[in-house]
A and B are shown apart, each in its own frame.
Chain A
């Protein structure tokens, strides 16, 4: 990688969750009262039934990178992305970035889409949710229409779209926001393979532009092999391995995170990683 422009720097990030629903809500109420009356509680102290969903997370994202993040379910990947996207409140640690940079995060492609409204109406709805104005969306309309390959289907109700069409439209809208940091969290799990291939090609193309990078969260080994330029492996809220050698990182992931696989399945996955021709 020749690029050295940093876009994001995450330092000493911690986040705790509660294992139990009632405790979760009780602590929420406690914190609400505490804040209102100015009582400070020490965030780095675990209370009963709490656990670290993220502990001591440190990494950098540079321009031109597609950083793959892998880890078993519940390892904290999505929580980390929600903190970076400012959806969850940052309590401990620092996320450095550029003040005006645009971060677009896609967690579920169809989130916020309205089934009773047409594809075109949904472009306005979703686009405006990402903070775009009318003129901005109008200017992007041709691109979205073209990228989603929906053509004449755009004026049909979104609810009548197939899951592939939905994914195509939603992905096209997200990318039309031209984010500096584009977060894709398992969002490409649906959709047809031709479109997925197109998305992967597009992502690689996208980060060639100056000052753009992608955070790509997925458990699908093949997808990570296809697009990632480097990989973080997460386990139980910690980064246990990081490397620019994607194959080595995936090896580590298979050997250390997939505890519920038997030896044979694991070997098969490992062979797939070894044989993959980047």
Chain B
């Protein structure tokens, strides 16, 4: 068979698939370029993700409304049964828990879904070439949709509980951003570990679950139990979640200085995580075996 001379190769062709290197800025430009080029694919993936669960159900998307209503009812019942005094919550306890758990869920759910990119979409990744950042965007968009619909139900419930909103409440969606990038950043790092170091990934899953108990979510930040108070004080999520919650329900900023520091740290970690993901992600694909 005929074979090209080395000198001819370099004049006629260029090397494909060069290794990824370059500055942070270069990576980010690349990410946005890929997301733009594959925006229709992202739309399709989001559509599949949202509709798939409901395609076979008779009532379809109504489930998105029914589930939050059920969870509200459960919290009201638990409260009525006489839960331990959770500390000074400012607003009625069921409303406090409802809102806090849903903000916590915003963070934890995003971690959960980004950290499973390779296990849930690995099959697609080894069958076709497309930029994998689109899967991350898909997860975020699906997450936002899945979060916002039940959240609207929660707002109605908060009103029924007598919570009154101020204009500052309009800032609420913005205050979720630090939680979004933190959840995503941890998820991206763990997603790679879930392929090559399953034990660490499981540990991280349990760690996140456990973290919820060290965060004022089902009790107030002012709870006075020795070591727990200390843990709460040094837990960045105390500030990130408390800030969002208070902006919505009190029209006030919760510990703005600590919140600012935590947000800056979350941003730094996010930049690190994205770079780590972009640089290492191509190499773990061949390690995927259970597809």
Contacts and interface: CB of A to CB of B under 8 A. Distances in A.
Nearest to B200: A29
Interface string B43-82: 1110010011001100000000000000000000000000
Contacts of B38: 128, 131
B285 A89 contact: yes
B127 A112 contact: yes
B228 interface: no
A67 to B, nearest CB: 9
B130 A129 contact: yes
Contact of B128 (A24, A28, A130): A130
Nearest to B290: A21
A35 B16 contact: no
B123 A111 contact: yes
Nearest to B124: A112
A8 B55 CA distance: 44
A24 B129 contact: no
A87 interface: yes
Given A35-B280, A89-B282, A111-B123, A105 B129 contact: yes
B16 A97 contact: yes
Contact of B9 (A24, A82, A86, A96): A96
Contact of A90 (B13, B17, B127, B287): B17
Interface stretch (B107-115, B144-152, B191-199): B191-199
A141 B1 CA distance: 39
Which residue of A28, A62, A107, A130 has the most chain B CB atoms within 10 A of its CB atom? A28
A96 B15 contact: yes
A164 to B, nearest CB: 20
Interface in B1-40: 1-4, 6, 8-10, 12-17, 19, 37-40
A111 B13 CA distance: 31
B161 interface: no
B interface, over-half SS? helix
A111 B127 contact: yes
A85 interface: yes
Interface size class of A (residues with CB under 8 A): 35 or more
B31 to A, nearest CB: 16
A25 interface: yes
Interface in B247-291: 276, 279-280, 282-287, 289
Interface in B193-212: 193, 195-198
Contacts, number: 144
Given A87-B125, A103-B129, A31 B14 contact: no
Given A86-B129, A107-B127, A28 B195 contact: yes
Which residue of B9, B40, B48, B123 has the most chain A CB atoms within 10 A of its CB atom? B40
A99 interface: yes
A256 interface: no
Contact of B12 (A6, A31, A86): A6
A87 B287 contact: no
Nearest to B282: A89
B172 interface: no
Given A25-B196, A85-B129, A117 B48 contact: yes
B104 interface: no
A11 B127 contact: no
B289 A89 contact: no
A36 B276 contact: yes
Contacts of A137: 40
Contact of A108 (B17, B44, B48, B127): B127
Given A6-B4, A25-B287, A98-B13, 4 more contacts: A26-B196, A29-B197, A89-B19, A116-B55
25 contacts: A6-B9, A6-B12, A8-B13, A24-B289, A25-B195, A25-B198, A28-B196, A28-B287, A29-B196, A35-B280, A58-B3, A85-B128, A89-B286, A96-B14, A97-B13, A97-B14, A97-B16, A108-B127, A111-B124, A112-B127, A116-B51, A116-B55, A128-B44, A131-B37, A244-B1
Q: Which 10 A-B pairs have the closest CB atoms?
A: A28-B196, A111-B127, A96-B13, A128-B41, A28-B287, A89-B282, A29-B196, A97-B16, A128-B40, A116-B55
